[in-house]
């Protein structure tokens, strides 16, 4: 294992020290609880937005704390959900009297820890908490009898759009309904060229031969649905976009598209992939109104990418264009 | 009168913490094959925090085990924190009910199992820790007339059998479920750490 670390056990704590040192103007870090707060939280009368999850997906979620997005991010160990104590503390700290929305990605651990936190917050502090669980990953067969689809790329788009709505002063019911709408209309599919190494584990999570790729990955370095032969970018783009388009109707409305890098793929390849994806979308009658290309929701140093398509509307585009000032996304300010 | 003493509960936790420490790399390696390579290190972090509790400061086994459950919830994260935390919280809450030691322990084990089923929304056959715990509770019940030592030994054996039988299942819950068919043939990390917990109970909680 070759990593820029000191002790594997200290990776998250020491990275948060760096976050605090780099962005004192925008962020405040609770090092004890491993929570990153927006500098000016709580904002009176504004719905508080909290997300969180395992670390290793940077810039998500701490990189999306700030004006127009999250009020706090709870950081777990690498690829491990944070604990209810963190969500409890963050919920109380960001409540400005309008209630708090928990943005949770659909993984067994994340859902259970956030559920326990919401139960405890309701019992202890009286803060009104609502939750949205993202589950946009079409690689997973959805069924009542399984853990269901994973929450991946749409989480980034949701945090931006819902963050703008909360900033506008919409109430908790409206913010929750909007969050649900975004999740319901977004789909993602990802692939990996390499695995990644969890610092505490020390060796790659799975093996891939030089001529293989993993199709249908999530964001935790977990193996995907199938290992297949490596193909030209044009074919990979097809393999990613087809299942997304087959799962939801994206025609007849503006779309927001994200071509996301998994952490270890250079931008030149991501742009090449975006070119392929944009061409397929155009041929399929999808009108791309906005796009993001870059590393937004990652799996440590994994090489690969994911495609997220969101069926938007004029209202969603207006919220998308609203000012945002976080370390991961910044425009209009 | 509780089915076990505070000292026995403390010995159980200390034994399990040691066993988890010794098997952390193995558990993480199982998790690497079907999940995200953190089960051993997460459980080890949690059980080290539990082992640091001062057993002598608790006046009942229920109080100690409740604190152990809260400690796991607060330190582990992932799925195993809430699941093992809920197991110990429910186990502790049910411990004092029962006319004799065996029925008291049976009630506690059953409450722990129900807690995990509710929290994890999982059932037997989903390829999870329930596939070790559920047959263990059944075996304990069948053998409970023979005293807690014999019943716990039977429970530990049943857990190991359940863990091994679950290897051939397709995971329907937890991160391994994303693998679908590819989870078949892989040993489940949660069923493995649960078996270790019951083997540890058999070493420490039994009385004639």
A82 touches chain B (CB under 8 A): yes
Q: Is the pLDDT of residue B208 over 60?
A: no
Please tell me whether residue A53 adopts helix, strand or coil conformation: strand
Burial of B138 (0-12, 13-18, 19+ CB in 10 A): middle
Cα→Cα distances A17→A34, A35, A149, Å: 10, 11, 33
Cβ atoms A227, A212 nearer than 8 A: yes
Which positions in chain B have a beta carbon within 8 angstroms of at least one beta carbon in chain A? 28, 32-38, 41-42, 45, 73-83, 119-120, 126, 172-175, 177-180, 182
Measured between CA atoms, how close is B56 to chain A, in angstroms?
26
Q: Is the pLDDT of residue B1 over 70?
A: no
Facing B36 at nearest CB: one of A139, A203, A221: A221
Over range A155-167, report the average pLDDT.
Answer: 98
- Tell me: the pLDDT tens digits for B16-34? 999 999 999 999 999 988 8
Place of tokens 């002790």: A7
Q: Is the pLDDT of residue A211 over 70?
A: yes
Mutate to test the interface with B, among A12, A56, A133, A147 (most CBs of B within 10 A): A147
- Say what the pLDDT of residue B21 is: 97
Q: Is the pLDDT of residue B113 over 90?
A: yes
β pairing state of A100-105 and A129-134:
parallel
- Tell me: the pLDDT tens digits for B154-195? 999 999 999 999 999 999 888 788 788 888 999 999 999 999
Facing B177 at nearest CB: one of A116, A146, A224: A146
Chain A residues closer than 8 Å to B120 by CB: 108, 112
- Say what the pLDDT of residue B65 is: 97
Facing A83 at nearest CB: one of B81, B119, B179: B81
Q: Contact B178/A221, CB-based, under 8 Å?
A: no
- Say what the pLDDT of residue B54 is: 97
**Given A23, A57, A61, A102, the catalytic residue:** A57
Q: What percent of chain B has pLDDT over 70?
A: 98
CA-CA distance, A207 to A195, in Å (whole number)?
Answer: 7
Chain B residues closer than 8 Å to A195 by CB: none
Choose among B165, B79, B87: nearest CA to A147: B79
- Tell me: the pLDDT tens digits for A228-252? 999 999 999 999 999 999 999 999 9
Query: What domains, with CATH codes, occur in chain A?
Result: 10-185 (3.40.50.10440), 186-311 (3.30.1180.20)
A199 touches chain B (CB under 8 A): no
- Tell me: the pLDDT tens digits for A54-79? 999 999 999 999 999 999 999 999 99
Show me where the domains of chain B are located.
Answer: 6-204
Chain A residues closer than 8 Å to B35 by CB: 220, 222
- Say what the pLDDT of residue A30 is: 98
Burial of B53 (0-12, 13-18, 19+ CB in 10 A): middle
Position B56 confidence tier, pLDDT thresholds 50, 70, 90: very high
Mean pLDDT of chain A: 95
Higher pLDDT, A109 or A271: A271
- Tell me: the pLDDT tens digits for A276-328? 999 999 999 999 999 999 999 999 999 999 999 999 999 999 999 999 999 99
Q: Contact A77/B79, CB-based, under 8 Å?
A: no
List the single residue in A with minimal CA-CA distance to B83: A112
Q: What percent of chain A has pLDDT over 90?
A: 86
- Say what the pLDDT of residue B68 is: 97
Cα→Cα distances A272→A110, A236, A260, Å: 34, 11, 12
Q: CA gyration radius for chain B?
A: 16
The interface predicted TM-score (ipTM) is 0.79
**Given A23, A61, A102, A220, the catalytic residue:** A220
Over range B82-101, report the average pLDDT.
Answer: 89
Q: Is the pLDDT of residue A52 over 80?
A: yes
- Say what the pLDDT of residue B100 is: 81
What tokens does A114 get? 């956030």
Facing B79 at nearest CB: one of A108, A145, A206: A108
List the single residue in A with minimal CA-CA distance to B118: A112
Measured between CA atoms, how close is A276 to chain B, in angstroms?
27
A44 touches chain B (CB under 8 A): no
A218 touches chain B (CB under 8 A): yes
Q: Contact A112/B120, CB-based, under 8 Å?
A: yes
A141 touches chain B (CB under 8 A): yes
Q: Is the pLDDT of residue B91 over 80?
A: yes
β pairing state of A212-215 and A287-294:
unpaired
A220 is an active site residue: yes
A61 is an active site residue: no
Q: Is the pLDDT of residue A135 over 90?
A: yes
Tell me how many residue pairs between chain A and chain B have CB atoms under 8 A apart.
Answer: 113
Facing B172 at nearest CB: one of A139, A146, A218: A146
Burial of A290 (0-12, 13-18, 19+ CB in 10 A): middle
Cα→Cα distances B11→A102, A123, B97, B197, B205, Å: 39, 33, 21, 12, 8
Please tell me whether residue A191 adopts helix, strand or coil conformation: strand
Class of domain B6-204: mainly alpha
Chain B residues closer than 8 Å to A223 by CB: 34, 179, 182
Q: Is the pLDDT of residue A51 over 80?
A: yes
Q: Is the pLDDT of residue A143 over 60?
A: no
What tokens does A169 get? 């002063």
């Amino acid at each position: 294992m070759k990593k820029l670390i000191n002790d594997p056990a200290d990776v998250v704590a020491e990275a948060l020290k760096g976050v605090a040192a780099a962005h004192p103007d925008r962020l405040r870090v609770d090092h004890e609880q491993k929570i990153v707060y927006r500098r000016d939280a709580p904002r009176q009368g504004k719905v508080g937005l909290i997300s969180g999850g395992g670390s290793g997906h940077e810039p998500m979620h701490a990189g999306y704390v700030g004006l127009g997005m999250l009020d706090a991010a709870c950081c777990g160990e690498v690829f491990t959900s944070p604990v209810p104590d963190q969500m409890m503390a963050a919920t109380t700290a960001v409540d400005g009297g309008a209630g708090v929305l928990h943005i949770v990605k659909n993984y067994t651990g994340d859902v259970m820890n956030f559920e326990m936190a919401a139960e405890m917050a309701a019992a202890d502090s009286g803060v009104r908490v609502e939750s949205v669980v993202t589950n946009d990953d079409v690689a997973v067969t959805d069924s009542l009898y399984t853990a269901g689809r994973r929450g991946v790329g749409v989480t980034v788009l949701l945090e931006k759009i819902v963050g703008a709505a909360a900033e506008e002063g919409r109430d908790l019911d409206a913010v929750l309904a909007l969050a649900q709408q975004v999740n319901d209309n977004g789909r993602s599919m990802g692939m990996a060229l390499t695995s990644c190494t969890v610092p505490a584990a020390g060796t790659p999570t799975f093996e891939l031969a030089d001529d293989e790729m993993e199709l249908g990955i999530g964001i935790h370095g977990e193996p995907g649905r199938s290992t297949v032969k490596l193909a030209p970018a044009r074919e990979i783009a097809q393999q990613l976009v087809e299942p997304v388009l087959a799962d939801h109707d994206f025609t007849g409305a503006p779309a927001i598209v994200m071509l996301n890098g998994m952490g270890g793929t250079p931008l030149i390849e991501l742009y090449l992939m975006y070119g392929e994806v944009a061409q397929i979308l155009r041929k399929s009658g999808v009108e791309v109104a906005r796009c993001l290309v870059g590393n937004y929701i990652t799996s440590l140093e994994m090489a690969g990418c994911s495609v997220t398509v969101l069926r938007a509307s004029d209202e969603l585009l207006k919220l998308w264009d609203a000012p945002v000032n976080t370390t991961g996304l910044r425009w209009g300010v | 009168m509780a089915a076990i003493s505070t000292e026995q509960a403390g010995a159980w936790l200390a034994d399990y913490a040691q066993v988890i420490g010794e098997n952390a790399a193995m558990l993480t390696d199982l998790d690497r094959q079907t999940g995200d390579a953190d089960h051993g290190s997460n459980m080890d972090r949690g059980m080290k925090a539990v082992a640091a509790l001062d057993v002598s400061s608790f006046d009942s086994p229920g109080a100690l085990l409740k604190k152990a459950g809260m400690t796991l919830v607060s330190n582990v994260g992932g799925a195993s924190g809430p699941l093992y935390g809920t197991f110990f919280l429910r186990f502790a809450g049910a411990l004092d009910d029962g006319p004799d030691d065996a029925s008291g322990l049976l009630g506690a084990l059953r409450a722990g199992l129900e807690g995990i089923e509710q929290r994890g929304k999982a059932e037997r056959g989903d390829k999870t820790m329930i596939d070790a715990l559920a047959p263990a509770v059944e075996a304990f019940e069948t053998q409970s007339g023979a005293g807690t030592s014999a019943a716990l030994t039977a429970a530990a054996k049943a857990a190991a059998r359940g863990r091994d039988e679950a290897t051939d299942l397709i995971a329907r819950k937890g991160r391994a479920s994303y693998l679908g068919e590819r989870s078949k043939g892989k040993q489940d990390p949660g069923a493995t750490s649960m078996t270790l917990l019951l083997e540890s109970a058999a070493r420490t909680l039994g009385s004639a």
